[in-house]
Structure 1
Amino acid sequence: MYKSGFVSIVGRPNVGKSTLLNQLLKTKLVITSPTAQTTRNTVQGILTDDEAQIVFLDTPGVHKPQDGLGSFMNANALNSMLDMDAVVLVEPVDESVGKGDKFILSRLEKVECPVFLALNKSDLASKEHLMEKLIEWQSLFDFAGIIPISAKSGDNVDELVKTLKSVLPEGEAIYPKDMITDHPEQFILAEFIRERILYFTRQEIPHDVAIVVESWEENEKEISIMAAIIVDRPSQKGIIIGKQGAMIKKIREQARRQMTRFVGKTVHLELFVKVEKNWRNKTKYLKEFGYDEDDYK
């Protein structure tokens, strides 16, 4: 009998949740970077095979919010644990258990579905250290299962999928079998721009940037996109533009290449930078830029 259901991927910032989702889907769907809290919106990725369809929700990292955007991200992540068929908590094997982990575990106590622990970076740990972490986590929470994985290399990810399938309810596919996400292409392509900005300017502009697609024209052979890069301060505008426009040119070209690979057609991309002071604390801008808590309740 065919199975289908929803699985939420949760954890602290920068533990490998988005890398895991990309590995599960065998495609670049979610942006990643060394910068914590890279993921802002819940991203649905859909894995379909002959046995089951699993709808994964990759969530923002749970953290102590410092502004309105942070509050949105936290609410987004915590609400995603509700009404799931399973939850996967991602934790790196090379980090100590901290207050943030215990806060997430306290929220998971209220979840009625099976909760699994994916111990990430297990390929880098010795057998002795891995066993110590297994015992430590088992003492903290009654997990339905603990699966050592490597989100980066894909080690044991197939075993995680097999385990999740075992707890899914019977049912037909929820989405068409050739669909890998319910997010529109505009959202995904805008995220590619933000990823390149984080990659090239992560020391100067960690979280003060948003992307707004201003225009989109598409035909069978190509897509033409104009997008605004929103920053918090004039100095950040200068950093993104760079000397004689060198930085924004580099961001545009690398983002355009990623977009072309994703959509399979030629992409023409124009970028410009706008300053909206303190936008992360203003409800008007949060909603305008796609960060609205009401959309995720």
Structure 2
Amino acid sequence: MASKTYRSGFAALIGRPNVGKSTLLNELTGEKIAIVSPKPQTTRNRILGVVTRPEGQVAFIDTPGIHQAKGELNRYMVETALQAAEEVDLVLFVIEPPGGEKPEVGPGNRMILERLQRIRKPTFLVINKIDSLPKAKLLPLIELFRNEFPFAEVVPISAREGDGVDRLFQVVLQHLPEGEKIFDEEMLTDQQERTLVSEYIREQVLRHCRQEIPYSAAVLVEVFDESEREPLPGTPEGQLAGLIRIAASIYVERDSQKAIIIGKQGQMLKTIGTDARKAIQRLLGAHVYLSLRVRVEPRWSERREGLKKLGYE
């Protein structure tokens, strides 16, 4: 019996902010490699997630939400997303059901579709959050978007519920070229541990701080000491083993923002640190000593040198 054809390639997740691209990446990989928040523009860099199965390998690239960019940080995020779309084999254009009674494409989605027309890559329409969409509205929504763009496939899913995600993987695979594995089977992401740690801390800033703070906050890990990481002999499997010492700074743009993150008697910073430490321990499988401080870097999100200093380049 002849063996099945093995396929492999790259697929980019493209779309407006908050449509569920990062949730979808985490569901596809089975691991939390992209932080998730209800606040727009949570993802700031491209994030690679590799899914390897007996029939093929897909390297998915999560990208920042595309929006009307104002300021250096926003322009950086939008260009990061559009550049990713140019470099892959396949684009997954992720949307969510529109809020009104009558379905509409909307100016933000139309702007993205115009850019995708110029990129000329095979593109899927991935309709996320179908658990919140009445079935009677699904077909009109598909027809509306098909009239705007020649999609290769349309795949309705619910990333949060896992509904349709496996089918999406299989359909993506069918459209990729024949080829060997691009990455080792064990590889899940190209994100370094200290990068993931900084993102896990920023996730707690997004979660706990009020509206204006998250967009002005960035996290830099300054110490990642693994000298005590090796587990002690006799440590039961599955238990946290060893110790990793981490020191990180949360950067904001104004003194008033620093005061908010620190909170009354340091309570907000303590809450952020406690929740971040728990998540980091699960990630690293070791006990974590986490030290956080808050620094002010005026207008960092508006200056190229500020972006470079905080790792956005």
**Is TM (by shorter chain) over 0.5?**
yes
Q: How does 1:50-199 map to 2 (within 5 A)?
A: 50-95=54-99, 96-199=104-207
CA contact (8 A) 1:116 1:143 kept: yes
* Amino acid in structure 1 at the alignment position of 2:64: P
Partner of 2:266: 245
* Amino acid in structure 2 at the alignment position of 1:172: E
User: Considering only CA atoms, is the larger Rg found in Structure 1 or Structure 2?
Assistant: 2
Per-residue deviation, 1:50: 1.0
Per-residue deviation, 1:4: 1.2
C-alpha separation in 2, matches of 1:246 and 1:204: 19
C-alpha separation in 2, matches of 1:170 and 1:177: 17
CA contact (8 A) 2:29 2:50 kept: yes
CA contact (8 A) 1:35 1:202 kept: no
Q: Secondary structure at the match of 1:81?
A: helix
CA contact (8 A) 2:13 2:93 kept: yes
CA contact (8 A) 1:94 1:121 kept: no
Q: Does 1:227 align with 2:262?
A: no
Q: For residues 48-77 of structure 1, what are the alpha-carbon distances to aligned partners after superposition, in whole Å with 9 as ceiling and x for unaligned?
A: 111111111100001111211011001101
Q: Does 1:20 align with 2:24?
A: yes
CA contact (8 A) 2:205 2:214 kept: no
Per-residue deviation, 1:236: 0.7
Greater Cα shift, 215-224 or 58-67? 215-224
Per-residue deviation, 1:169: 1.2
Q: For residues 174-196 of structure 1, what are the alpha-carbon distances to aligned partners after superposition, in whole Å with 9 as ceiling and x for unaligned?
A: 11111110111111110000000
RMSD over equivalenced CA pairs, Å: 1.1
Q: For residues 233-252 of structure 1, what are the alpha-carbon distances to aligned partners after superposition, in whole Å with 9 as ceiling and x for unaligned?
A: 00111111111111111100
C-alpha separation in 1, matches of 2:49 and 2:179: 18
Per-residue deviation, 1:263: 1.4
Per-residue deviation, 1:112: 3.4
Per-residue deviation, 1:202: 3.5
Unmatched segments (≥5 aa) in structure 1: 293-297
* Amino acid in structure 2 at the alignment position of 1:258: A
Greater Cα shift, 148-157 or 108-117? 108-117
Partner of 1:39: 43
> Could you tell me the percent identity over the aligned residues?
44
* Structure 1 runs (4+) greater than 3 angstroms displaced: none
